[in-house]
Amino acid sequence: MMNLRSTFPANSLVNLVSLNLVNTNHANTNYANMNHANTSLENMNLENTNFANINLENSFGNSLWNSLGNSFGNGLESNLCSNLGNSLGNSLGNIFGNSLGNILGNSLGNSLGNSLGNKILGDMDHWNCRGTNLENQKN
């Protein structure tokens, strides 16, 4: 594995070009347990990832790692959370909110509200529950 301890930019660029990523072991990375059910990347299971062969001892290595980590993380967050989230949130939200909301709210609301409301008012009229004079009850 190459040594990335040099902080001289030219050497760092040379090291970057010749950086051997073959020794990076992704064979045990478990992506099957990545949780996309929510928008949190904290549930990604990377416990089996073997980073032992990556030499990130200097600031350049750490910067590169942070750049890759942040870019990859931000990319996933932006693409999955924003795009997919907005697509699902807006589309399904509009579909469920507007369509089903209107269907359930207006149709069932009107059906239940008007039907039950009229039924209750009809029963109240039948039994004369609106007034206090029980002598005027209808048969």
Tell me the C-alpha distance between 98 and 111, whole Å.
18
Q: What is the pLDDT of residues 42-86, one digit of tens each?
A: 444 445 455 554 444 444 545 555 555 555 545 554 455 445 545
Exposed/middle/buried for residue 15 (C-beta within 10 Å: 0-12, 13-18, 19+): buried
pTM, whole model, 2 decimals?
0.14
Q: Which class for 60: exposed (0-12), middle (13-18), buried (19 or more C-beta within 10 A)?
A: buried
Kindly report, residue by residue over 84-113, the tens digit of the pLDDT. Answer: 545 555 555 555 555 555 555 555 555 555
Question: CA quadruple 76, 82, 85, 88: dihedral positive or negative?
Answer: negative
Residue 17: the pLDDT is 45
Query: Do 34 and 49 form a contact (C-beta atoms < 8 A)?
Result: no
With CA atoms as reference, report the closest residue to 4 among 80, 85, 64. Answer: 64
Task: Describe the crossing of helices 59-76 and 9-17 by its angle, rounded to 10 degrees.
Answer: 60
- At residue 17's C-alpha, the angle toward residues 15 and 22, to 5°, is 90
